[in-house]
Amino acid sequence: GESVGLHLPTLSVQEGDNSIINCAYSNSASDYFIWYKQESGKGPQFIIDIRSNMDKRQGQRVTVLLNKTVKHLSLQIAATQPGDSAVYFCAEKDPGTYKYIFGTGTRLKVLA
């Protein structure tokens, strides 16, 4: 079937290695950010979020880092597994609204 993210940048990592997915955001006033995971044939799934008053937030096997100085967001996945293969999107909340602006996305391929 049709796949999401056919033309997206791709990151290939070996199973068990750590993955780092990067995202640049546009608005220095944005105060809330989310990482989503989208598997083929599914809608985006919430992974982790971070508010602008934090630099780092950890979840289960995932860490999000926020660098407000250069408007950069990263998602780190520890001990990457085959089930992590998907397209990952960052999203920044438009300040004062409930609208989210999504990044271009990165396809993560986990090699066995």
Kindly tell me which of 19 and 36 has the beta carbon lying closer to another protein.
Answer: 36
Shortest distance, position 41 Cβ to another protein, whole Å? 8
Residue 86 structure tokens? 């998907």
Site of interaction with another protein (CB under 8 A): 1-2, 4-8, 32, 34, 36, 41-46, 49, 89, 98-100, 102-105
Kindly tell me which of 10 and 14 has the beta carbon lying closer to another protein.
Answer: 10
- Rounded CA separation 68/27 (Å): 10
Shortest distance, position 16 Cβ to another protein, whole Å? 29
- Rounded CA separation 28/48 (Å): 20
Shortest distance, position 95 Cβ to another protein, whole Å? 14
- Rounded CA separation 62/75 (Å): 7
- Rounded CA separation 99/101 (Å): 7
